[in-house]
């Protein structure tokens, strides 16, 4: 059996002031080549788990290993963020540059690519997602579906080795949902999707599991 790319051991996390912890002695594993769906009621901690994996939240106890390396400090997570892409629930949170091209090139530039490389990579990613001609569009004037796809492009342009998607279908129409599912199926990297939409998950992942306080229970 191959080494898991994500391994969470005995993790405890409680939001400040919350009566109960979201996770208590939580254990979780994601194997490579795996496409996993995370389901569970609102407030079960699906988004929290993704944010913990990216180091946006700090657990009170426990270990997180990503690609076999234990990560705990901000510096470790800077390393994680170069390799793992997170698509936020709300694309408005993700897009902040004036134009689409600048936004998609922002990640590659942070990775130390030259302007020419970053622009080439951005254009290539946008072409893959069918976003040709969007380069000079103003990000805040895009439609909801376009914003989502551009947000996905900003993440994929960094050539992540693992993709985390937080409710990618929220607010999308059927056509855009299908387009998104098609894009995901074409990807060659493992991904993990938080979603409430069964149809979408059936189309994009082979396995789903329920997020509980102590573990993720496969269905």
Partner 1 sequence: MSLIREPFSEGDSLIHRLDPRGKVLVAGTFAVLVAVAASPRTAAAGLGLALLWLALAKLPPRRVAARLLVVNGFVVFLWLVLPLTYPGEVLWRWGWLAATREGLAAAGLITLKSNAILLGLIALAATVPIVDLGQALHRLRLPDKLCHLLLFTYRYLYVFEEEYQRLVTAMKIRGFRPRTDLHTYRSYAYLAAMLLVRSYDRSERVYQAMLCRGFRGRFYSLKEFSWQRRDRIFFTLSGLGLLGVAGVEWLLPLAARRLGAW
Residue 199 to residue 47: CA distance in whole angstroms: 20
Pairing between β-strand 61-66 and β-strand 69-70 as defined by DSSP bridges: antiparallel
- Closest distance of CB 6 from partner 1, Å: 15
Residue 180 to residue 158: CA distance in whole angstroms: 18
Give yes or no for residue 88 binding partner 1 (CB under 8 A): yes
Q: Where are the alpha helices (DSSP H) in 72-208?
A: 74-83, 91-94, 100-110, 115-128, 144-156, 174-186, 198-204
Q: Which of 189, 6, 162 is nearest to 84 (CA)?
A: 162
Give 12 or 82: the residue with its C-beta nearer to partner 1: 82
Give yes or no for residue 94 binding partner 1 (CB under 8 A): yes
- Closest distance of CB 191 from partner 1, Å: 15
* Length, in residues, of the chain: 219
Q: Which stretch binds partner 1 (CB under 8 A): 103-111, 172-180, 183-191, 199-207?
A: 103-111
Give yes or no for residue 140 binding partner 1 (CB under 8 A): yes
Footprint on this chain of partner 1 (rule: CB under 8 A):
51, 54, 56, 78, 81-82, 85-86, 88, 90, 92-94, 96-98, 101-102, 105-107, 109-111, 115, 118-119, 140-141, 154-155, 158
């Amino acid at each position: 059996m191959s080494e898991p790319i994500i391994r969470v051991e005995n993790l405890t996390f409680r939001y400040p002031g919350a009566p109960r912890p979201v996770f208590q002695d939580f254990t979780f594993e994601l194997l490579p080549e795996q496409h996993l769906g995370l389901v569970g009621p609102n407030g079960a901690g699906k988004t929290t788990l993704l944010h913990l994996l990216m180091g946006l939240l700090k657990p009170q106890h426990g270990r997180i290993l990503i690609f076999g390396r234990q990560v705990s400090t901000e510096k470790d997570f800077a390393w994680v963020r170069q390799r793992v892409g997170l698509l936020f629930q709300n694309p408005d949170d993700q897009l902040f540059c004036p134009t689409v091209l600048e936004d998609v090139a922002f990640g590659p530039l942070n990775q130390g690519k030259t302007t020419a490389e970053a622009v080439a990579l951005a254009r290539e990613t946008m072409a893959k997602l069918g976003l040709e001609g969007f380069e000079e569009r103003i990000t805040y004037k895009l439609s909801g579906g376009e914003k989502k796809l551009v947000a996905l492009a900003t993440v994929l342009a960094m050539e992540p080795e693992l993709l985390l998607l937080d409710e990618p279908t929220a607010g999308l129409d059927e056509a855009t949902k299908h387009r998104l599912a098609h894009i995901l199926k074409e990807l060659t990297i493992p991904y993990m999707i938080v979603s409430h939409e069964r149809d979408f998950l059936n189309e994009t992942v082979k396995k789903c599991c329920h997020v509980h306080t102590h573990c993720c229970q496969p269905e």
